[in-house]
Every structure is written in structure tokens, then in C-alpha cells.
Structure 1
Amino acid sequence: MRSVTEHQKVVADLIVPRAPIDMPLADALGLVLAEDVVAPLSLPGFDNSAMDGYAVIADDVADAGPEHPVLLPVAEDIPAGRTDALTLKPGTAHRIMTGSPVPSGATAIVPVEATDAATDTVAIRASAKPGQHIRRAGEDVTAGTTVLQAGQVVTPAMLGLAAALGLGGLKVIPRQRVLVMSTGSELVAPGQPLKPGQIYESNAAMLAAAVRAAGAEVVASPMVGDDVEQFRTALDNHVGDADLIITTGGVSAGAYEVVKDALLKEVEFVKVAMQPGMPQGSGTAAGRPIVTLPGNPVSALVSFEVFIRTPLRAAMGHPRPSRPTLTAELTEDLTSPRGKRQFRRGVLDAETKTVTSYGPPASHHLRWLASANCLLEIDEEVTELAAGSQVHVWDLSSG
């Protein structure tokens, strides 16, 4: 059998990045910058007021106080957005709003709370230091400065900065586009009535969500029966611009294995020394990389975590593509099959760094995986672990 490490490399080699593209700001959140961003202008672009109040010459109000206000005629009113150049003459004040350009000659802003808020002759009841409440041009960003770096994941604050700099978009590594296909004639879409022997399809919904949670895009998630012609038709109809195909089911050793039957000449089907998720496949179909996963739901999602999620995120440039891992103390005795790397569902207590296995190890127990927050990884050569042992844990709650 192929080792987990060997199959991880095979799958990783299939998933390659797309070329960087210019993405509108509205669509760039969560993507990774493909190049540095150099500020085309300074922020602020001009001296502006940090307060609603009055632009003054500090020397004119040096003696102002609550009991002895200084009276100054209000020569101009400066709302935000006023664009004409103004000059403040000695012995006068300009009423000014937050963000408005400071008139030439003004050396301070007196907050409106320190005045009587008059619009003709204002009573200034506090002195002001030179530069008080004035935001200087370029004090946040100087034109020509590198403000964002390639490899950063785009955040709301970064989008705000880009917009403030007048940028309409950012050059980013685009999302991987993934086609998810589930197979099985026994499958019925949720919401439809079941006949005897039928089950509701869950893998497509689950894996499509896992793809999106990893930051990629799902182009389609069709469900097809165990018919080779139907499978090939659905594949051809949906592959479109997909960068990766993921299938579930139809890869085991029995009859009616539709994925195997349809792709035997294009995909290498192997057994991987792991539990759950032994039957796997990888290759190229319809001109696209394809990874074929087993059909049992726990096997499918664990296989996605072990083989696909990390290289998928790496292909989108994420600086931390892998799940966080740690070593935790096992709270119970466990056994594991020799020769297979076991991935057990578990509950991790991050504060005490202790972990407990959760539910049976069989691959159809989806309920337990739904409530687990980690995977316990037990090496191939380990058959028994005693309570108190240290075990390798994948933290599914973050990353």
C-alpha cells in the first residue's frame, strides 16, 4: 500500500496555482496579495482638522480661558468637501468640520466644545497649542511607501486602505475552482422521499462546504448514479473552468464502482495505508487534475483534510495552509491497526492540552465527526496507546 506521506505528495503535485489577476476590491477579501502595494499618494492628502471646531492662529488665543474668552470674528465656514484654497487672517477664525482642509495660516484647531459655537463672532474659552488637532499631510502614509506586501491575506482593513489610496482593485492569487461530484445510485437529494435501500446524499454538500471553508470556489456539485455514461456526461457538462475535480464514491474493490470504471485509463487507483480512507485515486480527467475519494462520509472528509485542504490553500498562496497541530495528552487507552496511520475523531481541551477520542473509528459514523474539534493522528507502527500518552492532534477548530 502507498503511505499517507507518499499520497500527500502525489496530490500536492496535482494542485497548481492560477496566474495572478487584478481583482476588484469588493471581491478580494480573503485572497492573497500577489504583489506589493505602493502608495500612489499620501494620506492624509492635505492638512485637515481632527475635530469639529474653529481654525485659529494659536497666538491669537494664547490668553483665552473660561472666565476670559477671546472673541474672534468667524470669517469662513469650512464644511468637509470644500475645495477652494482659503487663508486665515490674524485676529479671525474659520469654523471647520472634521476632515476639512485647514486654511493656510492657521496653526491650531479649537474644539467646538471649548467655544460658544457661534457662527458670526465666536467666544474661544481655551488656549491652543500650535499644531493642536491638525492632521498633517502624509502623517499616515507617504506616497511611494510600500504599504502592503505580497503574501498577505486581504482583510477588511487592507481593503479600506486600498480604497483610501484610490485603488480600484488589487493583484491577487485567485481562488481555486473546484468541481465536486458524488456518485451512487442509492443517493437521493435531501428533501425528497426515500425508497427502501436509498440514502440521502451528504458528501457533496459536506465537501463543497469544506472547499469553500478552505477559501476555494465550488463551480458545481452534481450527484450521479452508478452509470459510466452518465458519469462522463456529468463530468463533461460541469468541468468548465474547474481547476480541480473531487469525486466521492465508486473507488473501492467491488462491482458498480463507477469512478473506477469510467476513469481507469486516466486515474491511478491505489490503497493508502490509513484508516479511514484506504481507497484513493489521483490523476487527470477531462484535462483537469482529479482526486477520487472514498464514499463513506467520514472517509471522504478525513481524506479531504489529509490530502487536499493543505495543497489547495497553498495553491492560493495562503501563508498558513495547514491545520494547526499540537501534541496533547491522551485521556484514555486506545488501540490502532498495525501498518495503517489512523485518524480518530477527538475532542481537544486547548487549555489543559488533553484530548479524548470521540465515537467509534468506523467510517460511517458521521455524527461523531460533526461534533469533534480535532483529529488524533496515530502512526502506522503504533498499535496501543495508554492514557497519559502524548498524541499528535490536528486542530479542526481553527486555521
Structure 2
Amino acid sequence: MISRTLAEHRRIVAESLEPVPDLDVLIADAPGATLAEDLVAEIPVPAHAVASCEGYAVRADDVAQASPGEPVTLMVSHDVSVEARAPRRHIARTAARLGSGAPLPEGADAVVPVSMTDGGVARVTVTFPVAVGENVRPAGSELAPGRVLVPAGTRIGARQLAVAAALGRPRLLVHPTPRVVVVSVGSELFEPGDARGGVAESNGHMLAAMARDAGANAYRVGPVPDDRMRLAATLEDQLVRADVILTSGGLSGGREETLPDVLAQRGEFEVVDLALRPGGHHGFGFLDAGGGRRVPVIALPGRPPAAAVAFQAYVRQTLLAMSGRERSVGMVRARLTQAIDSPAGLAQAVAVRLIPHGDVPWAEPVGDPAAMTLADVAASDALLLVAEHATSLQREAFVECHPWER
């Protein structure tokens, strides 16, 4: 077993996990991935000025004198189709009938709503004037050419997908979503509700949800007992669909715990005594997947609060980096409601509740930092990590907090 500071372990894990190679995918397959290129409007959207309501395209000057007492009558030159790819030329002192979203004929500069006319087909009587640009959406009013609409590094959701489609992009270059297999290890573990009793397995559910929140596709496996053959077979089966394997438990060094041996026999693996509290053994290594491919394995402690802290402390930012997103996304600057003592040489994790207060919220510690429980984790909003070199933080000190969810 080796000893490491949190900063050292975080760096080793981050440097060992490379981003998944970029892929060119259909936009239908892009949601959840991270954009690897800027989405830039190369042409204006809409490409031409269009009507914002149903009515008649006119020159504003031709109906400037219209009133209910003295309406203006114009010939209807044509009906504009919403399917028209380019506008026709407008004829002076006429009107073109058109629907909402239809392109304005070239030379027309306003639209008279149907409600301000008699709705004529061959001729139309206009009873109110309109100003230049009235009821018209100019070219580029939705998407202006040359503008970066969605920057690279943005996670693609419904809104980003709509922009890509509006730009006419059938495919996108993306950082694929990392595939994380979550394996819970321990013969004492049972599925929640299992009639046989034992310890209800919670880490797998928690870590899979945290991985998804960090932008990964997570697949929960387990619980898997401390049996060499079953554990080895489980890990072998998961290599084909894993970019990362995340385990919890099986690291305390007991005679029956087999995870380090199984991992070391099929690749390389180190058990780490990490300077982080809540404590427990951690681990990192690689499994040989064949063909020169190695799958990284991040091993977390089996105690749920320690597993949750470890994920926040050094796994979340690694998954964000693998998916092409900023590591610091979502950090919250807050002010402590009370002083905190911290052991020298250890990074102390403190569960905190964020209380709104102007521009900078208060961070209120939950429970006893020296004995964090799963209940403390559930009752808190974020995690504060006190650095190894700090032995205390004063009341009202400014701190950076890691929200549990983004």
C-alpha cells in the first residue's frame, strides 16, 4: 500500500484517464454528449425577412393614408407560399397575400394583418396604416451569421439540438459520453428489499446516479461477493462496454477481500492510503482488455459517506474532463456560518447546507465533520474540502463548495 495526498491522487487519476476520441454523429445521437466544435451561424436564420402574422405584404408608403373612414384598396398580386425558397419581387401599389412565416417579396417592407383589412382575394381594402418593418421578422433575427451560438464544451440538450437543426446541421462533432460501469463488492451486500437481509447495497445506486450527473452513461452491476472467480468474471464481462470501471468496497485488507488481487492479476493496481477524511482505502489501476486497450479502474471505499466524498473529491472532475466539459463547472462560492477545525495533514470533507444570502450564500456544516454519516450527506447540498495544510477555517471565511448535483 502506498500513501498519497488528495492532490497527488487527483492528479494521477486525471492524467491517466484520457478523453474519449471525438466522433462525428447524427444530431439524433448527440443528446448527452459534449460539443467538440463551436456551432456558428454561417447563414442568417431566417434567410429572408418573413411575416410574423397572417396578412398582406405591402410597401408602408402605399397604405400610409389608410383609415376606417378612407380605406386604401390595393390589387392582390399573388399569394406567397411558405414553401417558397426565395421571395418574388414586389409590385408597387399592390399587396401580396401571405401567411405567418412566409418570406416577404423583395421591395415590400411591412405586413398588414388580416384583421386590418376586408380579407379580399383579388383586391384588399386596408383600413389602418402600418410602419416600415411592422409585423416583419428581419433576416437573421433568429440566428445572426458569424455569431457563435453554442460554444465547444457545452453539453448537448434539447435547446442546443434545436440550434443545430436550425442551422441545417445533420451531423455534429462531439466528445462521446464516457461509459462508466459501477461495481459494488462485498459478500455482505444485498439488493434493497432482499428477504435474506444483510447490508442493503446503496453505493452502486448512489455512484451510478452521481456518474450520470457528471455527464457519463452509468451501468450499475452488483452487488458482487468477495469471490475471486465471480469477481473476475464480472469484471471481464464489463470490459467490452466500459471506458471506466468504478468500484466500491473490497479494499479494507481483510483476508476475504479479493478485489486488489483480482485486479492486479489482470492488469496493474495499487491500493492507496489517501490523506482524506472520511477515510478508508482507495485504489487505482488498469485492466487489460486485449488488443492493447486498457480500461482504468477507480476503487472507492465501501462506507457510503466515504464513497460519496471520494467521488466528489477526485472522480467527478475526471469524468467531466473525459467528456470534454470544464472541470470546475458548478463550484459555489460561499461563506461559513461557523468556524471549522481540521486535522493537520488530512483533507477534511465537510457536508454543508447552502443558505441563500444575497450574492454569496452561507455554508452551514451538517453533522460532525469528524464522523460524517450518510444522513449528513443526504441532508446537505454540497461538499467543502478543507486543504491538508489548513488546521482551521474561521467563521465567515469564503470557501469553494462542490454541489452534490449540477
**Match runs of 1:257-296 below 5 Å:** 257-264=257-264, 266-286=268-288, 287-296=294-303
**Match runs of 1:48-127 below 5 Å:** 48-82=50-84, 86-127=88-129
2:233 counterpart of 1:226: no
2:322 counterpart of 1:297: no
What amino acid does structure 1 have at the position aligned with 2:161?
L
- 2:364 corresponds in structure 1 to 356
Q: Matches of 2:195 and 2:231 in 1, distance apart? A: 23
Scaled by the length of structure 2, the TM-score of the pair is 0.87
- 1:241 corresponds in structure 2 to 241
Q: Matches of 2:131 and 2:214 in 1, distance apart? A: 53
Q: Mark the CA change 1:122 to 1:154 in structure 2 (over 3 Å): closer, same or farther.
A: same
- 2:291 corresponds in structure 1 to none
Please list the CA deviations of residues 29-70 of structure 1 after superposition, one character each: whole Å capped at 9, or x if unmatched: 353321233445432223322221111233322211122111
Q: Mark the CA change 1:66 to 1:390 in structure 2 (over 3 Å): closer, same or farther.
A: same
Deviates more, 1:127-136 or 1:313-322: 127-136
**Match runs of 1:320-339 below 5 Å:** 320-331=327-338, 334-339=340-345
Q: Mark the CA change 1:181 to 1:117 in structure 2 (over 3 Å): closer, same or farther.
A: same
- 1:202 corresponds in structure 2 to 202
- 2:384 corresponds in structure 1 to 376
Query: Alignment partner of 1:6: what SS?
Result: helix
Aligned length: 395
Structure 1: stretches of 5+ with no match in the other structure: none
Q: Mark the CA change 1:131 to 1:273 in structure 2 (over 3 Å): closer, same or farther.
A: closer
Query: Alignment partner of 1:369: what SS?
Result: helix
Report if the CA contact (8 A) 2:318-2:327 is conserved.
no
Q: Matches of 2:180 and 2:204 in 1, distance apart? A: 12
What amino acid does structure 1 have at the position aligned with 2:298?
V
Deviation at 1:116, TM superposition (A): 2.8
Q: Mark the CA change 1:54 to 1:223 in structure 2 (over 3 Å): closer, same or farther.
A: same
Report if the CA contact (8 A) 1:176-1:244 is conserved.
yes
- 1:162 corresponds in structure 2 to 164
**Which among 344, 349, 358 is matched to residue 343 of structure 1?**
349
Deviation at 1:270, TM superposition (A): 1.4
Q: Mark the CA change 1:23 to 1:59 in structure 2 (over 3 Å): closer, same or farther.
A: same
Q: Matches of 2:218 and 2:334 in 1, distance apart? A: 33
Q: Mark the CA change 1:334 to 1:62 in structure 2 (over 3 Å): closer, same or farther.
A: closer
Q: Mark the CA change 1:101 to 1:322 in structure 2 (over 3 Å): closer, same or farther.
A: closer
Q: Mark the CA change 1:141 to 1:325 in structure 2 (over 3 Å): closer, same or farther.
A: closer
Q: Mark the CA change 1:143 to 1:273 in structure 2 (over 3 Å): closer, same or farther.
A: closer
What amino acid does structure 1 have at the position aligned with 2:120?
A
Q: Matches of 1:235 and 1:46 in 2, distance apart? A: 57
What amino acid does structure 2 have at the position aligned with 1:49?
A
Query: Alignment partner of 2:12: what SS?
Result: helix
Report if the CA contact (8 A) 2:334-2:363 is conserved.
no
Deviation at 1:307, TM superposition (A): 1.2
Structure 2: stretches of 5+ with no match in the other structure: 289-293
Report if the CA contact (8 A) 1:72-1:121 is conserved.
yes
The alignment yields a C-alpha RMSD, in angstroms, of 2.7
Deviates more, 1:227-236 or 1:56-65: 56-65
Please list the CA deviations of residues 218-266 of structure 1 after superposition, one character each: whole Å capped at 9, or x if unmatched: 1443321010111010001112131111110011122222212312452
Deviates more, 1:29-38 or 1:140-149: 140-149
- 2:316 corresponds in structure 1 to 309
Q: Matches of 2:83 and 2:110 in 1, distance apart? A: 20
Q: Matches of 1:391 and 1:139 in 2, distance apart? A: 43
What amino acid does structure 2 have at the position aligned with 1:356?
E
**Which among 354, 367, 387 is matched to residue 375 of structure 2?**
367
> How many percent identity over aligned positions?
35
Deviation at 1:335, TM superposition (A): 4.2
Q: Mark the CA change 1:240 to 1:230 in structure 2 (over 3 Å): closer, same or farther.
A: same
Q: Matches of 1:327 and 1:142 in 2, distance apart? A: 38
Report if the CA contact (8 A) 2:312-2:402 is conserved.
no
Q: Mark the CA change 1:123 to 1:25 in structure 2 (over 3 Å): closer, same or farther.
A: same
Q: Matches of 1:248 and 1:182 in 2, distance apart? A: 5
Q: Matches of 2:98 and 2:398 in 1, distance apart? A: 64
What amino acid does structure 2 have at the position aligned with 1:379?
A
Deviation at 1:137, TM superposition (A): 3.8
Q: Matches of 1:110 and 1:236 in 2, distance apart? A: 70
Q: Matches of 1:36 and 1:299 in 2, distance apart? A: 39
Report if the CA contact (8 A) 1:178-1:217 is conserved.
yes
Deviation at 1:330, TM superposition (A): 3.5
Deviates more, 1:114-123 or 1:12-21: 114-123
Q: Mark the CA change 1:78 to 1:227 in structure 2 (over 3 Å): closer, same or farther.
A: same
